[in-house]
Amino acid sequence: MMLLRTTVSIRLWSNSLASSPSFITSTTSPTVAATPFKTKSHSPLVAFPNYRSTLASPRCTVSDSDSLKFQEMAAEDAQDHRLAKIASAIRVIPDFPKPGIMFQDITTLLLDTQAFKDTIDLFVERYKDKEISVVAGIEARGFIFGPPIALAIGAKFVPMRKPNKLPGKVISEEYSLEYGTDTMEMHVGAVEAGERALIIDDLIATGGTLGAAIRLLERVGVKVVECACVIALPELKGRERLGDNPLFVLVNAPGA
């Protein structure tokens, strides 16, 4: 299958602004060539009607704020068949939840038992010897990937929730969306100063959500070892909002 090289509008949304007609629109070329490292095209399997493949770059990447460049993460043997299958198991639904948005839908990844397992395994292989005591999962889709990783590496799982969901005493962190703000909360006492955390979410777009999670954990003295996502939308430059904290990503999705 050929890579699509059309130019599309990138639009983001926020749940709190679901009815607002005002959201960021930027124009870019959503091709794998936009990523600052060499990529291979692949032929995603199209097993579901009415969606487009991510056409994603099937490589693990890790980035840090020093260079703000994505670098190939691992040795060649880590760029294995698992990444291409994971990329092709993520479907893209155009115009959801609003016109112009290319929704990266991980529910199809969850239907593919091998691809889902491979996703968890890739994270577990990376973090199992990093002395991580806390996996902090971001609502809602970080709650899908975080717990199996936490169990496998022997860490506790801490939910980072939208406001007024946690019943105990919380600390909160506001973060900016494309228009307006949202708030993330964490239970007081869930973590202790000196612990080492991994933050997990399904996707990084602008980086506002992960940035808030980092600030919450750092405020109580926790060391954020790394942020990890299944998918990144590199054109939205979310990496730049994470300060010095490294970001590890399995799939780069163009033009989402």
Asked if 90 and 54 touch (Cβ cutoff 8 Å), the reply is yes
235 binds ligand PRP (CB under 6 A): no
Complex with ligand ADE: residue 44 or 133, whichever CB lies closer: 44
Strands 196-204 and 223-232, how do they pair?
A: parallel
Return all residues near 44 (Cβ < 8 A) that are at least 6 apart.
1, 53, 54, 55, 56, 87, 88
Binding-site member from 203, 214, 224, 230 for ligand ADE (CB under 6 A): 203
Strands 247-252 and 61-63, how do they pair?
A: antiparallel
Could you list the beta-strand ranges (E) of 162-246.
Answer: 170-176, 181-187, 196-204, 223-232
Site string for ligand PRP, 7-26 (x = CB under 6 A): -----x--x-----------
DSSP state of 2: P
Complex with ligand PRP: residue 2 or 18, whichever CB lies closer: 18
Least distance to ligand PRP, CB of residue 150, Å: 18
- Binding piece for ligand PRP, criterion CB under 6 A, among 39-47, 86-94, 138-146, 244-252: 138-146
Complex with ligand PRP: residue 42 or 197, whichever CB lies closer: 197
Return all residues near 238 (Cβ < 8 A) that are at least 6 apart.
204, 205, 206, 207, 208, 210, 232, 247
DSSP state of 185: E
Distance CA(212)–CA(28), nearest Å, equals 26
Partner whose footprint covers residue 103, from ligand ADE, ligand PRP, none (CB < 5 to 8 Å by kind): ligand ADE
Distance CA(71)–CA(87), nearest Å, equals 18
- Binding piece for ligand ADE, criterion CB under 6 A, among 33-41, 101-109, 148-156, 181-189: 101-109
**Which residues are marked as active site?**
141, 178
Least distance to ligand PRP, CB of residue 142, Å: 7
- Binding piece for ligand ADE, criterion CB under 6 A, among 64-72, 96-104, 146-154, 216-224: 96-104
Binding-site member from 86, 203, 213, 227 for ligand PRP (CB under 6 A): 203
